[in-house]
Amino acid sequence: MDRTVLLINGPNLNLLGTREPHIYGSTTLSDVEANTKTQGETLGITLQSFQSNHEGAMIDRIHEARGNVEYIIINPGGLTHTSVALRDALAGVAIPFIEVHISNVHAREEFRHKSFLSDKAVAVICGLGVFGYSAALQFVDERLRASKT
Ligand SMILES: O=C(O)[C@]1(O)C[C@H](CCCOc2ccccc2)[C@@H](O)[C@H](O)C1
């Protein structure tokens, strides 16, 4: 478990870099995962990545993280705005998490302004593009180091 972080990306984020680049940029999900893994290695953090288009699979992966992951960085995709079950899974395993959105959801359609997760998150990052993932990992590193002093 020591310094292990789980990166979760939700539905449709497998399309990252191939569709709607004007909203989500041109970096692919596999590049995001590779770049974040490399950043983790420089920080002494083991990064596990998971992407699913299925709410239940995301919930199962969150359950599996219990006892072997210290932090979760999650972009829930559209489930952000709909999923009580995802909220309950994150709260249930009691692993601190950061919610990341590539776009500035608050500058988009009204229905994207509501998150079922944000009030349970340690932090929410949105609008930084895929840099949000890097910023989240940097933050997690500092939190993990602080918790060990
Ligand atoms: O801005 C974000 O990261 C979102 O979580 C992305 C979700 C959409 C995930 C789909 O991502 C795509 C990426 C490229 C092409 C098509 C979809 C959207 O439903 C949220 O409101 C905000």
CATH of the domain at 35: 3.40.50.9100
Q: What is the mean pLDDT of residues 71-98?
A: 98
**Using a 6 Å cutoff on CB, does residue 13 contact ligand 1?**
yes
Let me know if 12 is exposed, middle or buried by CB neighbors in 10 A (0-12, 13-18, 19+). Answer: middle
What pLDDT shows up at residue 149? Answer: 79
Locate the ligand 1 atom nearest the alpha carbon of residue 126 and give its number.
Answer: 1
User: Binding site for substrate: what residues are annotated?
Assistant: 75, 81, 88, 102-103, 112
What pLDDT shows up at residue 105? Answer: 98
Check whether 128 has a pLDDT greater than 80.
yes
Average pLDDT, the chain: 97
Q: Nearest to residue 86, comparing CAs of 2, 11, 3?
A: 11
Helix axes 55-64, 84-93, angle to 10 degrees: 0
ipTM over 0.95 threshold? yes
Alpha-carbon distance 53 to 144, whole Å? 30
What pLDDT shows up at residue 2? Answer: 79
Q: What is the mean pLDDT of residues 48-72?
A: 98
Amino acid identity, position 94:
A
Q: What is the mean pLDDT of residues 100-112?
A: 98
Q: Which residue's CA is minimally distant from atom 11 of ligand 1?
A: 13
Percent of the chain surpassing pLDDT 70: 99
The tally of domains found in the chain comes to: 1
Complete edge-to-edge strand list for the sheet that includes strand 123-126? 46-51, 4-9, 71-75, 97-101, 123-126
Alpha-carbon distance 88 to 63, whole Å? 11
Q: Is 24 one of the annotated active-site residues of the chain?
A: yes
Which domain does 103 fall in, by range? Answer: 4-147
Angle at 27 between CA 85 and CA 81, to 5 degrees: 20
Helix axes 29-43, 131-148, angle to 10 degrees: 30
What pLDDT shows up at residue 1? Answer: 62
58 band by pLDDT with thresholds 50, 70 and 90: very high
Q: Which of 22, 54, 63, 101 is catalytic?
A: 101
Q: Is 133 one of the annotated active-site residues of the chain?
A: no
